A and B are shown apart, each in its own frame.
Chain A
Amino acid sequence: MTGGKLYGYAGRILRVNLSKAKIVEEELKPNLLKFYLGGTGYAARILWDSLERGVDPFSPENLLIACTGPLTGTLAPCSGSVEFAFKSPLTGIFGQTRAGGSFGPRLKYAGYDFIIVEGASDKPVYLSVVDDSPEIRDASHIWGKTVHEATDILLEEVGDPQASVACIGPGGEKLIRYASIMVDYDRAAGRCGGGAVMGSKKLKAIVVDGDHDIEAAKPDEFYEAALEAIKAVGKQGRGSLGQFGTVGGLLGLNESGALPTKNFQTCYYEEAEKMSGEELARRYLLKRRACMGCPIGCGRYVWVPSGPYMTPPHEGAEYETTDMLGVQSMMGSLEPLIRASYLCNTYGIDTISAGNAIAFAIEAYEKGLITDEDTGGIRLRWGDADACLKLLELIIERKYIGDLLAEGVKRAAEKIGRGAEDFACHGKGLEVPAHDTRGTSKSLAIQYAIGNPRGACHIEPIWSPMWDFSRSSLGLGELGLPWPPPSRFEETGVRRGEACRLLWLYGELASILGICRFSMQGGEDEILTPARLSRLVSALTGWDLSPKDLIKISDRVYTLKRCFNVREGVGRKDDRLPKRLMEPLATGPTKGQKVENLDMMLDETYEALGWDKKTGKPTREKLKELGLDDVSEVIWGG
C-alpha cells in the first residue's frame, strides 16, 4: 500500500469553497487510505482534522462531504451508495447519512471519490460535476422548488438525462433540522439533517455524471468474486425483501411484538394487516426498483392514482416510513401514508424524524401540553390521518407548532416542558426509528443508548438484532461472534456487549466501503460476509485485506467517530435511553417487556469496545493500539 496507482478508487477529491466560489482538485492521500480505506472512514478523519470543537453546524465552517468507498460503483452487489458526512444540526455530533440511487457510482465515474463542500454562498447555487468541468452555478431559479421539480429542471439544464442529482427541497432551505438530501428524486439520505447543512450553505443541489473507468488491481479475480457475490445477494431479490420491500417485514415484526406503535407505547398494532407490504404490492405497487448495482431491488415504485391522497408515481413507503408515519400515529390505511411519504420526499424531510415528531405531538396534545392554539386549530388524535397530514404540512411550512417540531423532538420537548421529555423518543437528539429496545431486542437498547456515531439509530452501524432476533451469524463466527445467541430479551451475562461490538464493526464497513447494509443482513449464503468483502476489496484494490484487517480498520473508524463526539462533550452521561424506551410495553406479545439493567449492559459493552467505563471515552491503550495517538492527546490531554 505504498504509492503507485490506486485501483478501485477514482483517486481524486473535489474541494469546493462556496464562500470564495473556488473549486480545486486534490489527490487522495495514501497514508489516510491505509488507515481508513474510504467512505465515512476517510471523511471522519477529514472532519476530525478540519472542524474545531463546538463549531456551529449551520456556520460556513461546517463541512459537507459526499463520500464513496472503494466498492462504490463497482460490480460488487449493492454498491450504489453515497454517504454524506458533516456535523449534524440535529444532534450536534457526527452526522452521516446514506442514500442509494446512482449518485455515488456516478461521482466515481465523474472522476472523484469525495466532494468536500466548505464555506457558504450568499445566493442559491448548485454544483455541476459533469463533462469533466466542475462548476458552481446559479440556482436562484430553483430555490423554493420541490425535490421533484428541481431534479427535472437540473437534468434538462445539464443536458444529460442519466446524470444523478442530489438536492434539497424546501425542508433543507428552511433549515428543518432533519431535512434530507434527496438523490435521484426519491432515494433519501434522510437522517441527521444533511439537507439543512446544504440549506445553510445555500447549496440547492449537486449534479454528477462522467465516463471515467474504474479499474481493479486483479481484474479476473475481482470479476469472479463479484459474480459470486451478486449471485449470493441476489437470492434476497427472490425473497421477501425483493418481492415486498423492507415493509414486507412489517407483519412478522408485529406478530413478534416488535412493531413500534403509538409513540412507542406498545409494539403491537391491531390494524397492521392494512399497512403491510403485501397490501402495498396488491394495490399500489407499479414496479420494483433497484439502485445501481443492486440485485435485490427493495425499492417500491408506487402511487395513489386518485382520491384525496393522490400522488404521482414515486419510490416510497419503505418499512421505516410506514411504521413511523403510518403505524405510530395509527393511520390504519396505506393511502394517507403513501401521501405523507411522498410529501416528505419532495419537500425533503426525513420520514423517520417527521413521523416521530408527529406521534410525539399527538401525545402532547392528548396530555394537554399543546392546544388548538398551538396547532392552528388542528385536533390531533391517534388514527386521524388527515390531522397528521395537516400537521406534516405545518412542519414543512414551519407554521404554528410545526415550527417547533421542525427543530426535532428533543428541542420541542425542552421548550414544551412539563414532562414532555418523558415521551420524547430520541437518542442524542436523533429521533428513534421503527425498532424497539424492548420489543425487538436488548441489543438495540445498548445500540440506541451509545448511539455511535449518529445517535439512536437502528441501521448505523447495523441492525444488531440480526444476531439474536433473526438468528444469523452473518459469517462472523470465525471472528468470535458468540453463538448461539441468547433470547432477545435477556440483558446481561449473555456476552451481548461482545456481540454488539463485532456486529457494529462489521456494519460500519458498509459506510467505509460504500455498500448498502441490505447486502449485509440475512443468512450467510445471501449476504456479503466478511469473507466475501475481503475477497472483493483485496482483488479490487490489490491490497491484501483479511476479514480481520477489515474489522480492525472499522474499529479505528468507529472509535474515531466516538472521539469526534467525545470532543463535542459526549460521554457516558449521555449514553442514555429516553424514559419511554425503558418503560414496560402496554400490549401485545411483548407486553410488560422493559429495560432494567442498562448500566450493566453498558459496562459490558464498553469493556468489549475498549472504552473507559467511567467516562465512556475510548481508553489511551485502545487508541494507541489503533494508531490514533494524536487523537488520544486531544481527548485525554498530552
Chain B
Amino acid sequence: MPRTLVISPDKCTGCRICMLACSYRHFKVINPARSRIRVVRLPHEPVDSPIYCIQCGLCISACPFNALSRDLRTGAVKVDPEKCTGCGICVHVCPYGAVSRDPETHKALLCDLCDGDPECAKVCPEGVLLYLDPDDAAEYKRMAFSRLQRREITPLKPDAR
C-alpha cells in the first residue's frame, strides 16, 4: 500500500529547505520557483505553512490532454511530459495552490512523491513533513481538518499569569 505525505504544520519555521531540495531532486538545480512544495509565510501572523499536494486527483479528470494519471504504486498523480502542453488547467482547478507551472518549460509541476521517497520529508530539519503509512497519516489529516473547524484562528494568548 502506498504511503501518504502529511504535515505537522505548527513546527514549520519557514526555512524553505524543502523547496530547495525539491527543485534539486527533480532538476539538479536550486530554484524555489521550480519546487512542487511551497512554504507560505503570512506577514503579521504567526504562520509558516508548507502547501503541498495531497494527491486528491482533482486535476486528473480536468486535464484536457489526458496528461495526468494516478501512479498506482506510489499513489501520486503523474504528469506525462509528452502530453502536457502547459495549458494550466490543472493549476486552475487545484483548490490548494499546490500545482504550478515550471517557469522554463511551462509544464505542470505536480508532486510525484519522488517516486515513493519524498525528498522534502527527508530534509525537513523540523520534522514537519512526514511520509507515513495511511492509517497513521489519517490521524494527521484529522488534526488538520479539525483545525479548520477551530473558530478562533488568532494565536493563543500567552499565559497571563
A interface, CB within 8 angstroms of B: 73-75, 102, 105, 109, 148, 151-152, 155, 185, 210-216, 219, 223, 227, 230, 234, 237, 282-295, 297, 299, 301, 305, 312-313
Q: Are B46 and A301 in contact (CB under 8 A)?
A: yes
Q: Are B24 and A313 in contact (CB under 8 A)?
A: no
Q: Pick from A155, A213, A237 the residue with the most CB of B within 10 Å.
A: A213
Query: Quick one: which of B15, B30, B33, B46 contacts A287, CB cutoff 8 A?
Result: B46
**Nearest opposing residue in chain B for A215, CB measure:** B29
Q: Contacts of A151 on B, CB cut-off 8 Å?
A: 43
In angstroms, Cα B30 to Cα A212, docked, is 9
Query: Quick one: which of A74, A152, A213, A293 contacts B27, CB cutoff 8 A?
Result: A213
| Stretch of B60-68, B81-89, B130-138, B152-160 with 4 or more beta carbons under 8 angstroms from chain A | B152-160
In angstroms, Cα B81 to Cα A383, docked, is 67
CB distance from B24 to the nearest CB of A (A): 6
Q: Are A297 and B126 in contact (CB under 8 A)?
A: yes
In angstroms, Cα B155 to Cα A227, docked, is 33
Q: Are B43 and A152 in contact (CB under 8 A)?
A: yes
Q: Are B43 and A214 in contact (CB under 8 A)?
A: no
Task: List the 10 closest A-B pairs by CB distance, nearest first.
Answer: A211-B33, A295-B125, A213-B29, A290-B15, A286-B46, A297-B13, A290-B13, A211-B103, A234-B125, A214-B30
Q: Contact string, B5-22, partner A, CB cutoff 8 A, digits 1/0?
A: 000001001111100110
Size bin of chain B's contact surface: 20 to 34
Q: Contacts of A313 on B, CB cut-off 8 Å?
A: 44-46, 155
Query: Quick one: which of B27, B103, B123 contacts A227, CB cutoff 8 A?
Result: B123
Q: Are A292 and B15 in contact (CB under 8 A)?
A: yes
Q: Tell yes or no: B73 within 8 A of A by CB.
A: no
A-contacting residues, B114-161, CB 8 Å:
123, 125-126, 155, 157-159
Q: Are B30 and A288 in contact (CB under 8 A)?
A: no
CB distance from B39 to the nearest CB of A (A): 9
Q: Tell yes or no: B32 within 8 A of A by CB.
A: yes
Q: Contacts of B43 on A, CB cut-off 8 Å?
A: 151-152, 155, 185
Q: Are A291 and B15 in contact (CB under 8 A)?
A: yes
Q: Are B29 and A214 in contact (CB under 8 A)?
A: yes
In angstroms, Cα B23 to Cα A74, docked, is 11
Q: Are A109 and B31 in contact (CB under 8 A)?
A: yes
Q: Tell yes or no: B34 within 8 A of A by CB.
A: yes
Other A-B contacts than A213-B31, A213-B34, A287-B48, 11 sampled, CB-CB below 8 A, are: A75-B21, A109-B33, A213-B27, A216-B28, A284-B158, A287-B46, A291-B15, A293-B16, A301-B46, A305-B157, A305-B158
Q: Are B158 and A283 in contact (CB under 8 A)?
A: yes
In angstroms, Cα B39 to Cα A291, docked, is 12
CB distance from B105 to the nearest CB of A (A): 12
Q: Contacts of A230 on B, CB cut-off 8 Å?
A: 17, 123, 125
In angstroms, Cα B21 to Cα A297, docked, is 18
Q: Contacts of B13 on A, CB cut-off 8 Å?
A: 237, 287-290, 294, 297, 299
CB distance from B141 to the nearest CB of A (A): 22
Q: Contacts of A214 on B, CB cut-off 8 Å?
A: 29-31
Q: Are B46 and A75 in contact (CB under 8 A)?
A: no
Q: Contacts of B103 on A, CB cut-off 8 Å?
A: 211
Q: Are A294 and B15 in contact (CB under 8 A)?
A: yes
Q: Are A292 and B16 in contact (CB under 8 A)?
A: yes
Q: Are B126 and A237 in contact (CB under 8 A)?
A: yes
Q: Contacts of A227 on B, CB cut-off 8 Å?
A: 123
**Nearest opposing residue in chain B for A234, CB measure:** B125
Q: Contacts of B123 on A, CB cut-off 8 Å?
A: 227, 230
Query: Quick one: which of A74, A282, A297 contacts B15, CB cutoff 8 A?
Result: A297
**Nearest opposing residue in chain B for A281, CB measure:** B158
Q: Contacts of B32 on A, CB cut-off 8 Å?
A: 105, 109
Q: Are B155 and A286 in contact (CB under 8 A)?
A: yes
Q: Contacts of A297 on B, CB cut-off 8 Å?
A: 13, 15, 125-126
**Nearest opposing residue in chain A for B47, CB measure:** A287
In angstroms, Cα B24 to Cα A444, docked, is 41
Q: Contacts of B20 on A, CB cut-off 8 Å?
A: 74-75, 293
